[in-house]
Amino acid sequence: MDAGFIRRSLRRAGYGVILAGTMLAATSALAQDSGPLRFGLAMPLSGSQALYGNDQVKGALWGVEDINKKGGVAGRKLEMIVLDTQADTQLGINAVNRLISVEKVPIVLTSWSNVVKAVAPIANREKVLVISATANSPEIAHLGDYVYTAFPLADVDIAAVAKYAYKTLGKRTAAVLYVNNESGIEGAKVYRSAFEKEGGKIAIFEAYDLKSTDYTGMLLKLKNANPDMVHIQGLVADLPQVIAQMRQLGLQQRISTYAVGYNVKIIEQLGKAAEGLIVTSLAPGAKDNPRVAEYVERWKKEMGRVPNGLPYTQYLYDEPYIIAAVFEWAIKQKLPLTGENMRKGLLAIKNFNLPMTGMLSVGEDHRVHKPVYLLTVQDGVFVPLATVD
């Protein structure tokens, strides 16, 4: 075997490698140009928050289905990859890491404030756009360049209910009870700040443990303080228990909470104890948007019930439309579908006219602003109370 033969063999091998590499790159590019447009959804599918998480995923799935039925995005299907977070910080990090590193998605939708905060550093480091779907901690507005929210933060609806309590209901003192986690702490602070800003006084500001089942001591402190109004910043699992024990101890103050209380199950569990409960909704009802009525009918037909946390599911139905618009923008601009370009698209489009929740404007301040719908329980059903713009 002479040197010339070896040189020729090496040259041929080199050509083969170049050809294989070119074909591989071309195939990948072709796949990217024609394959589905993928994004991630990290939500609690199990655990104590799955009651809301599963229904929100269902809303998003229907959003994706309806977009694809209308031809998809620039002729390509939208595909959603769903992973479970259990609303747990560590599991949320695992899920988002997998979506970014393994599934290679440029956008991730996620929720629950503790999870959004935990995955923010990953989003900023990997330059993947993370959109907070329904979390409401005001800190979400300050989590970095690659974290945005498509849902109004707590300083919108909770501030609105605090102002309503003072200005319209004439309550001068309030008690704030909150679950001792991200969702509870931030929301409670917003209520306190808004109520005091109006001139009210916070009689008691008390946290309870997420795993508590007996709130007697805390409620007796509340009884002693005798506030005009009680605001509970809890979660779907503990909220009915706190209200039930409150009523059983003879505390009859009017109670307000945020959108988590907008759930027919709470009325089932509490019966008459739920009367007068004020909840917020950041999504229009059937009277304000006829599509919402159709959406609710679809739930009844396909699932045999109304969704848990209807306003949240409305947002999740709409958020694939935001993602579709951003993908379309990038494709039209002939830009690679990276997180960086997704972010550019989000800010370039800015205003999204969404089917369930109406107009949404994404600000450079990482916030969105929406009217707040207040509802109350009357004769065992939620009825509109006021709209605060």
Partner 1 sequence: MIDFTMVAQIFWTGTATSSYYVLFTIAFALVLKVVGLWNFAQAGFMGIAFYAMFFAFNVLHIPVWAGLAFGFAFTIFFTGLVEVLCLRTLRKRRSSSLTFFIFTLILSEFIAYLLMLFFGTEPVTLFPSILSPVRIVADIAVSDWDLVALSSTGALSLALWVFLRFHREGQFLTAVADNGPLAELYGISAKRAYLVAMTIASVFVCAGMYLFGTRAGVIPTTPLELMLFAVIATLLGGIGRIFSAALAAIVIGLVQSFSILVIASAWQNLVLYGFLFFTILVFPRGFRLPGLRRVRGADLAPKPTAESA
Rank residues 229 and 270 by Cβ distance to partner 1 and give the closer one: 270
Candidate residues 73, 255, 273, 362; the one interacting with partner 1 per rule CB under 8 A: 273
Q: Is 240 in the site for partner 1 (CB under 8 A)?
A: yes
CB of 184 to partner 1, least distance (A): 9
Amino acid at residue number 181: N
Please report, as residue ranges, which positions from 178 to 197 form the binding site for partner 1 (by CB under 8 A).
180
Q: Is 303 in the site for partner 1 (CB under 8 A)?
A: no
Candidate residues 93, 169, 237, 335; the one interacting with partner 1 per rule CB under 8 A: 237
Q: Is 218 in the site for partner 1 (CB under 8 A)?
A: yes
Are the beta carbons of 124 and 58 closer than 8 angstroms? no
- The site that binds partner 1 (CB under 8 A) totals a number of residues, namely 36
Q: Is 248 in the site for partner 1 (CB under 8 A)?
A: yes
Question: Could you count the other beta carbons within 10 Å of the beta carbon of residue 344?
Answer: 17
Could you give the CA distance from residue 148 to residue 349 in angstroms, rounded to a whole number? 14
SS3 assignment, position 336 = coil
Beta bridge partners of 132: 110, 149
Candidate residues 4, 75, 170, 250; the one interacting with partner 1 per rule CB under 8 A: 250
Are the beta carbons of 51 and 87 closer than 8 angstroms? no
Specify the stretch interacting with partner 1 by CB under 8 A; choose among 45-53, 110-118, 188-196, 345-353: 45-53
Please report, as residue ranges, which positions from 47 to 66 form the binding site for partner 1 (by CB under 8 A).
47-48, 50-51
Are the beta carbons of 313 and 55 closer than 8 angstroms? yes
Rank residues 189 and 370 by Cβ distance to partner 1 and give the closer one: 189
Q: Is 311 in the site for partner 1 (CB under 8 A)?
A: no
Q: Is 241 in the site for partner 1 (CB under 8 A)?
A: yes
Q: Is 213 in the site for partner 1 (CB under 8 A)?
A: yes
H or E element at residue 159: helix 154-167
Q: Is 206 in the site for partner 1 (CB under 8 A)?
A: yes
Are the beta carbons of 120 and 147 closer than 8 angstroms? yes
Q: How far is CA 298 from the centre of its chain?
A: 21
SS3 assignment, position 257 = coil
Question: Could you count the other beta carbons within 10 Å of the beta carbon of residue 286?
Answer: 14
H or E element at residue 372: strand 372-378
- Give residues in contact with partner 1 (CB under 8 A): 46-48, 50-51, 180, 206-209, 211-218, 220-221, 223-224, 236-237, 240-241, 244, 247-250, 268-271, 273
